[in-house]
Each structure stands twice: as structure tokens, then as C-alpha cells.
Amino acid sequence: MTAGLRLGVLLGDGIGPEIVPAAVRVVDAALAAAGAAPVEWRELPLGAAAIDTHGSAIPGSTLEALAGLDGWLLGPHDSAAYPEPFRSQLNPSGTLRKHFDLYANVRPARAFEGGRAIAPDTDLVVVRENTEGFYADRNTFAGTGEWMPTPDVAVAMGVFTRRAVERIARAAFELARRRRNRLTIVHKANVLQLSSGLFKRVCLAVAEEYPDVVVDDVHIDAMTVHLLRRAADFDVVVAENMFGDILSDLTGELAGSLGTAPSLNASDDRAMAQAAHGSAPDIAGKGLANPVAMVLSAGMLLDWLGTRHGDPRLGDAAVRVDDGVRAAVRDGVSTRDLGGTASTDEFTDAVVARIEG
């Protein structure tokens, strides 16, 4: 059993200061209902506000403080709106993933009863390798991994290593064992025979360690079609960085909305809860933001911490978070993007009420 958790709060930009506090409220209610010790929350500067106060979108003091915590909630950032030179630097999310080697980005997609799912039977998880692949900014010690030898030529670096593929494959197979024992490897090895081919070959080699898991592999372009036609047939999907990012946005919409798409970024010893959507600056401060994805991401963090620390109360609290959100939506309480009329605070109140009552 664990003592009280110490968790960081990074509000971020746009709707972050609305949806992250909503997640904190729900987590506190779920932990209390599960009989777990309360969280010691520590708010830390990040994003546009941190540029104003600390001269950096992600101050060194924030990185130092996070290293001493059990995990943290990261709100969305609007790095495209940052002034230079901050706009051209690695964004806060990428910096945190790289600094703490958060190699596994786990993105569930499960449709809501009473929601607006395109594919109501969707219940799958995309496990995305988070440190290399075709995202050039993850592939270098310094710099972005992109360069222009002339004004008319742009080159990006893609990197695949056996070590990174092995560890994401094992994370995906372990998750498949806790779900329905099915795993799909997504790649483009027919064209990218060396890079994507290595990803496929290493995943298949790791599969030999998991004879109880049924495995298949699908080309990335074909996978988009399969998901549209038969999303319910898939359980755990493992993919490199960019493929996994694209597929998880697609599966989030199939399940209802990116506003309901949670994610967890994890290494072997720490994790960061982060909604899959952006900062939505057009509705910031209006009470319209849907907090579901951020709340569910926080629930995923509780589940991860419960497994890591062997504390069933944290796992119980994670279930209560998920059940509370789904009960509210099922009962017709939702924000405008899901067809309802509830404000951010009103929806959060409904979730907390269902957890407590």
C-alpha cells in the first residue's frame, strides 16, 4: 500500500486551466471514495504563463520538481502561438517526453453509451512508441532532426532502434494480456523495408515471448480502412510514433470525439497524464471545454500508479473515475461538443456526484 501520492499539476494553455482542475477534483473524489490517502498536489509553471514569469515555456525548476513526484497531469499547450524563439523550440510535451524518456504513449478509444460514437462498438488501445520513429524532434541529442541544405530542400530524420521497439512491443503485449489477448502490429514494411521493417520484425520476435496473445500485422494505409469498417475487431494496436499519433486521433473520433480521448505517457518508473486533444484557444475561458479526456487521463495515471505500487485502492479509484464519467454521459449530462448543454464545471459536478453517491 502507498502513502499519499505527490502529483504535479501543469495547467498549460488555452482550456488547460479549466480542464486540469476538473481532473484534480474528480481524482480527489475517487480516492476518497476508494479509501485511499489524499493527493498532495503541486502546481508548477509551464506554457505561455511560464514564458512570462520564468522566460521559458518549461523552466528548469519545473523539470527538477517533477523528477521528485510520483507523476503529473499535463494540460494542453498552444506552442504555435508562443513568441520566438520559443515557438521554434521543442514544445513542452515533447520536452517532457524526451527528458523523462516517456517511451510509451497509451491511448484508449472506448465509445460512450449516450455519446456520439461513429463506431459504437469501439474498444481498443493504441500503444504508440514515443521517442523516435518519423518524428524528427525525438531523434537527436540536440536540435530538431530537421534541416534544409537549400531553401528549396527540407530533410527530416527518422530513427528506429531495436531497444526502443522491443520495449514498446513488450508494453503492448503486457497490456494485451490484461485485455482480450489480441495485438495488431501496424507498419509500412512493404515500402520502408529497413526502418518500418525493423519495427515489424522486432515486434514479431517479441511476440514469441507471448504465445497466449493472438498477433497479426497490417500496413498503415490498410489499417485506416480496417478501423473505419470494423473497429470492434481490434484490441491492442502497436505502432511507431507518427503512425500511432495519426491512428489514435482516428480511433478517438470513431469512439465519439477527440474531446473524450485520454492518453498516458509512461516510462518504467514515471507517468504523465495528458489528453490527446489540443488547447482549443477559441473557447478558452468560456466554460465550454469538455474535461472528459483530461479526467480519463488522470484515471489512467491512477491505474498505472496502482499497478506500479501494488495498491489496489488506486486501481479502485481509477475504475471510479471511469465509471463516474460514463455514468454522467449515459444520464444525458455532457458538454456542447457532445450535444449537451453542461458547462465544464457542471459536467465535473455531475461526475463527482456520481462518484460520491
Within 10 angstroms of residue 21's Cβ, the number of other Cβ atoms is 21
Given the residues 13, 70, 235, 245, select the one marked as catalytic: 245
Given the residues 13, 70, 103, 135, select the one marked as catalytic: 135
Active site residue 135: yes
Given the residues 188, 200, 235, 303, select the one marked as catalytic: 188
Active site residue 216: no
Given the residues 221, 233, 268, 331, select the one marked as catalytic: 221
Given the residues 249, 323, 345, 349, select the one marked as catalytic: 249
Largest CA distance in the chain: 64
All three cell numbers of 181, joined, read 489477448
Active site residue 188: yes
> 315: closest CA among 329, 331, 301?
301
Residues 240, 223: Cα–Cα separation, whole Å: 13
Judge residue 38's burial from the number of C-beta atoms within 10 Å of its C-beta, 0-12 exposed, 13-18 middle, 19 or more buried.
exposed
Active site residue 245: yes
Active site residue 103: no
Residues 298, 188: Cα–Cα separation, whole Å: 33
User: Which residues are identified as catalytic?
Assistant: 135, 188, 221, 245, 249
